[in-house]
Structure 1
Amino acid sequence: MSEQKNKKEKVEQEIEKEATEELNIVEEEMEAHNEQVEIELTENEKRLLELEEKLAVSEDRYLRLQADFENVKKRNIAERAATQKYRSQTIAEELLPALDAFQKALDTQSDSEQMEALLTGMKMVYSQIKVALEKEGIEEIPALGEQFDPNFHQAVMQDSDDSKESNEITMELQKGYKLKDRVIRPSMVKVNQ
């Protein structure tokens, strides 16, 4: 019996040894598989981080482009509004010398009836031109008796009249004009000291 028992124990030991070896092989295979899975996860995590970074850069670029587009759009609207608002400036600048010539002609004195009739016709044309310019927002800059303002007046002479205030405009040599809030031509004036 003891021989059988010994055989049985040997068989059991061999079975246990084989089972332990197989268990070791399975554990090694599991560890290798887990390492492979971890490597794949690490690579996927890296790829995911790269994609997230690219997405953030793309979103930033998109937001900047959108902001640039909005700025260009606003600038374009402002430029169109300014162009519309000041569209009459060029024609006004071209007409101002003609208005000056009209004014000089109207300031002449005449005793002749024919000349008076001609001056009356010129006054009518002059007033029509002024009305048309006023409809476009072009108006004269007030000067005579006003305080000198370098934004609207250009001093070309000085006066020393004690009856007038200092910096008061005593004579207008050439009319100034503005279009809405923009000076087209400053008034040329004589200013008291």
Structure 2
Amino acid sequence: MEGSPMDEMKQTPAEETKTGEEKSEKKKSAKKPEAELRELKKQVEAAKKEAAEANEKYLRMMAEYDNFRKRSAKEKEGVYADAYSDCIGNILPILDNLSRAASSENFEAVKKGLEMTSKAFEDALSKMGITEIETKTFDPNLHNAVMHIEDDAYGEGEIVEVFQKGYRKGDKIIRYAMVKVAN
């Protein structure tokens, strides 16, 4: 009875071992995807946790930055208000002197009041670090020449007349001096 279906089903011992190994591998491979799945789930959970921590850190930094920005703006406003108050505080005595001079009927008292006012104003500017620009020799970086004269009595570029004083604070020019220049 060769060639019967039963003959085909019979296996040799080597074939039986192979089949046993295949079954064992199938069991292992069946367990392997489950283990891989568990490992992947652990990795996903770890990645989610890491992302949540990074998001929380980002939100904290954004809140800190927002607080810093608000605090800086508030400090800037405070500095501006203090500088403004200091400036006005330096100018108020000038107003007082002008008021006293205006209320006087004596010409000498008015003249003295104006002199005091001028001195008080110079002192206020000095307290703020503002200085008058020198007006001896013309410098286009400091002076604005509004008139020019030819006169041998004066040297080249010599300032003959000052129409309006110039002022500076350090290297910053607040107002250029308006002058008449010779030659």
TM-score (norm 1): 0.51
Amino acid at match of 2:174: I
Amino acid at match of 1:123: E
**Counterpart in the other structure of 2:34:** 36
Question: Is the Cα–Cα contact under 8 Å of residues 88 and 136 in structure 1 kept in the other structure?
Answer: no
**Counterpart in the other structure of 1:123:** 115
- 2:165 aligns with one of 165, 175, 181: 175
- Cα separation, 2, equivalents of 1:177 and 1:163: 28
Identity %: 25
**Counterpart in the other structure of 1:141:** 133
Number of residue pairs the alignment of both structures matches: 161
Matches within 5 A, 1:1-193: 25-45=23-43, 48=46, 52=50, 54=51, 58=55, 61=58, 65=62, 72=69, 76=73, 79=76, 83=80, 87=84, 115=107, 118-143=110-135, 145-150=136-141, 152-179=142-169, 181-193=171-183
Amino acid at match of 1:31: S
Q: Is the partner of 2:84 in helix, strand or coil? A: coil
- Cα separation, 1, equivalents of 2:117 and 2:22: 115
Is the alpha carbon distance of 1:189 and 1:61 closer, same or farther for their aligned partners in structure 2, counting shifts above 3 Å? farther
**Per-residue deviation at 1:67?**
9.6
- Cα separation, 1, equivalents of 2:53 and 2:79: 39
- Cα separation, 2, equivalents of 1:84 and 1:191: 41
Question: For structure 2, which runs of at least 5 residues remain unmatched after alignment?
Answer: 1-14, 99-105
Residues 9-37 of structure 1 show CA distances to partners (whole Å, capped at 9, x for unaligned) of xxxxxxxx999977765542222011221
Amino acid at match of 2:84: R
**Counterpart in the other structure of 1:11:** none
Q: Is the partner of 1:87 in helix, strand or coil? A: helix
Root mean square deviation, CA, Å: 5.2
Question: Is the Cα–Cα contact under 8 Å of residues 145 and 179 in structure 2 kept in the other structure?
Answer: yes
Range moving further from structure 2, 127-136 or 42-51: 42-51
Is the alpha carbon distance of 1:141 and 1:23 closer, same or farther for their aligned partners in structure 2, counting shifts above 3 Å? same
Range moving further from structure 2, 25-34 or 157-166: 157-166
Residues 58-95 of structure 1 show CA distances to partners (whole Å, capped at 9, x for unaligned) of 49957985896698489759956973786379759x99
Amino acid at match of 1:40: R
- Cα separation, 2, equivalents of 1:89 and 1:147: 34
Amino acid at match of 1:83: Y
